[in-house]
Structure 1
Amino acid sequence: MAEHNDTGRLAEELAAVWLSGQGYELMDANYRHGYAEIDLIMKHKGLLVFVEVKFRSGTGFGYAEEFVDSTKKKLLVKAADHYIFEKDWKKDIRFDIVGVYKDRTGTVNFRHFEDAFY
């Protein structure tokens, strides 16, 4: 696997642990449907939350939320629709983005964008 894939998986694991510490419950990770993949599916306060995780080693080229384009959003919604149908989920949902940032000293920080799109 390429190094960027390893970094992405590690960022997803870190985000899942961080979100769990914020009161979220992990339901599924790396859920695939067709060409779409949902990084994390969490439950929080009665909502099913679909989370796109983006890693950045700095902000010089922009913030994580800027890298979720309309095509990616459409794929996420399509996969989420399939998951909702598959699990027979009847309650509300939300789409979030979690940016995982590593600074020059190696410190990892998170930016959480709730209800980021849809």
Structure 2
Amino acid sequence: MAQHNETGKQGEDEAVRYLQQQGYEILERNYRHQHAEIDLIAQKGKLIIFAEVKTRTGTRFGNPEEFVNSTKARLVMKAAEHYIFAKDWQHDVRFDIVAVTVLPDEVNIKHIEDAFY
């Protein structure tokens, strides 16, 4: 597996642990609909979050969350719409970014709620 794929998987694993510690139940990982993918779908009470996880090994080129562009946000929202209808979800939804920075001796996680609409 390529290094960037391993880093991405590590970031997703860290994001899952973080969200679970915050009381979220992970419903799906890497949910796909057509060309769109949602990294994590999690639920807490009557709220579902659709989370884009961005992982970087440093901040030299910017923070991880800065790499979520409008095209990616639109794709996540499109896949989320499909998921909502498929599950007949009738409650609140939110779109978040979980930014993970993996450093040699620590992992930093920044959870950005309502990152895009």
Same fold per superposition (TM over 0.5): yes
Q: What's the offset of the Cα at 1:2?
A: 2.3
Determine the structure 2 residue equivalent to 1:116: 115
* Residue 25 of structure 2 is aligned to residue 25 of structure 1: yes
Q: 2:11, 2:102 within 8 Å by CA — same for their partners in 1?
A: no
- Among all aligned residue pairs of Structure 1 and Structure 2, give the percentage whose two residues are the same amino acid: 56
Deviates more, 1:57-66 or 1:28-37: 57-66
- Which residue in the other structure is 1:58 paired with? 58
Q: Corresponding residue for 1:8?
A: 8
SS at match of 2:27: strand
| Equivalent residue number for residue 105 of structure 2 | 106
Give the match's secondary structure for 1:77: helix
Deviation for aligned residue 1:59: 1.2
Q: Report the number of matched residues.
A: 117
Amino acid at match of 1:96: D
Cα distance in 2 between the residues matched to 1:91 and 1:31: 19
How far 1:6 sits from its partner (Å)? 2.0
Secondary structure, aligned partner of 1:29: strand
User: Counterparts of 1:45 and 1:60 in 2: how far apart (Å)?
Assistant: 38
Q: CA deviation at 1:45?
A: 3.6
Aligned to 2:38: 38
Distance 2:37 2:6 in 1: 16
